[in-house]
Structures are given as structure tokens and as C-alpha cells.
Amino acid sequence: MLKDIKLIIFDLDGTIVDAYDAIIDSFNYMMKKLHLPSADPLAIRRAVGWGDKMLLVPFVKKSLLNKALDIYRPHHRRALLKKSHLIYGARGILTYLKSKGYKLAVASNRPSEFSKILVRHLKIDNFFDYMLCADQLKRGKPDPEIILKIVDFFSVSKQQTIYVGDMTVDVQAAKRAKVKSIAVLTGSSSKEEIRKKKPNYIFRNVSYLKSIL
């Protein structure tokens, strides 16, 4: 059991929210509009987690990137409302943690606009005391800035903080911020990839947080 924890920071995509179908749908819509071949859903899923611009970079020429984003983003606003849902156990663990008095926050590389759409649409915005996204900062994860700013916002210590994410980039950010890291296996990184980064805990999904808090 972890003692003296006051703040729990969550990643969004792959950790508490499953918006992969919405991302894939918007991505391939954009590719079609640009007369480019559609991409394999697994390849798209593996590219998630670095923000929407970086999602497109491996698939779209630099000269087309701004045009691609102008197509992707409006479609994605609509797709999120149709093809996103909470990951199993997410609402239950958020309800539990809130009832226990923990401060809850979101740290996501997903742009702020879309993060807000997601949490409002899925009716989980009331659980979070603060949300910070990479487009509000100079650098996103794995840079620790996003975590450190949230820790400072709540005036708690790093020892009183946990960061929960689904990717190697999440574990790296937590380690660089010197906070405890929990990785869940519901997102983009494989168990082997996560294990190599040596988080403090690896869980099947976020509901297992209850076993240590």
C-alpha cells in the first residue's frame, strides 16, 4: 500500500479513455481527403500519445502537415462524440479516489480543446481538479514539465504524487519528474516496452489502483 499520497495525475488516451476508433476514423478520413492510402489501425494506434501533430508526422509529408491538421481536427471534434468511451473500471476508480479525498488531475499530450471535449462528453470532468495539456507548454511528455507544473499547482511534494499512464513516454515523464509511476496495459505501449522502462507498478487497467491506495 502507498501511504501519504495526496495527488494522482492521469494520462487520458489509453489510460482512462478509449478514443482510438475516433482517432483512426478521423485519421483515415484525412488521408482520403489528401488522396493518400489509408493506414493500418494498429499503426495509427501505436502513433497515438504524442499529440495530434506528431500523430500525423510519420504518415504525411511536411509540406502537407498543416493542411492535414486542418482536415483532421474538425472531423475529430465530431468523431470524439460518436466513437469514444471510458476504459473498463475508469469511472469506478475515479469515483472511489474522489470519495477518499485525493486530488485528481489530467496531464495529456492531447491538445486542450480535444481533451476538454472528451472529459465533458464522457461526464468525468467533475472528477478532476485540474487539467494540463502539452499545447499549453513548451514541451510535452516525456519532458517532466507537465507533471511538475501540476505538482506545483497543488503545492504537494513529489513523494505525495502518482502519475498513471499507458505508454513508455508516461513512465519516462514520471521518472524525470521524480514521482511514482503506474503503467496500465490498456493503451499504445506493449507490456514488454513498459516493463523495460521500470515503472513502480504495472496494472492491467486503472481499476487496480484500488489495491494500493
Q: What is the pLDDT of residues 31-58, one digit of tens each?
A: 999 999 998 998 998 888 788 888 899 8
What is the per-residue pLDDT for 64? 94
Peptide bond into 58 cis (omega under 30): no
Closest CA to 140 of 21, 53, 44, 61: 53
Q: Which domains does the chain have, with CATH numbers?
A: 7-18+85-211 (3.40.50.1000), 20-82 (1.10.150.240)
What is the per-residue pLDDT for 54? 87
Q: How far is CA 73 from CA 57, 69, 129, 140, 142, in A?
A: 15, 6, 26, 19, 24
What is the per-residue pLDDT for 3? 87
Closest CA to 148 of 178, 127, 170, 189: 178
The partner residues of 183 in beta bridges, in order of sequence, read: 165, 202
Q: How far is CA 36 from CA 29, 42, 46, in A?
A: 10, 17, 19
The partner residues of 104 in beta bridges, in order of sequence, read: 8
CA distance 145 to 197: 19
CA distance 7 to 103: 5
The pTM of this model reads: 0.92
What is the per-residue pLDDT for 53? 87
Phi and psi for 96 in degrees, rounded to 5? -60, -50
DSSP 101-115: T-EEEEEESS-HHHH
Q: What is the pLDDT of residues 89-138, one digit of tens each?
A: 999 999 999 999 999 999 999 999 999 999 999 999 999 999 999 999 99
Angle between helices 145-154 and 168-177 (to 10 degrees): 50
Q: Which residues contact 151 (CB under 8 A, 6 or more apart)?
A: 7, 157, 158, 161, 177, 179
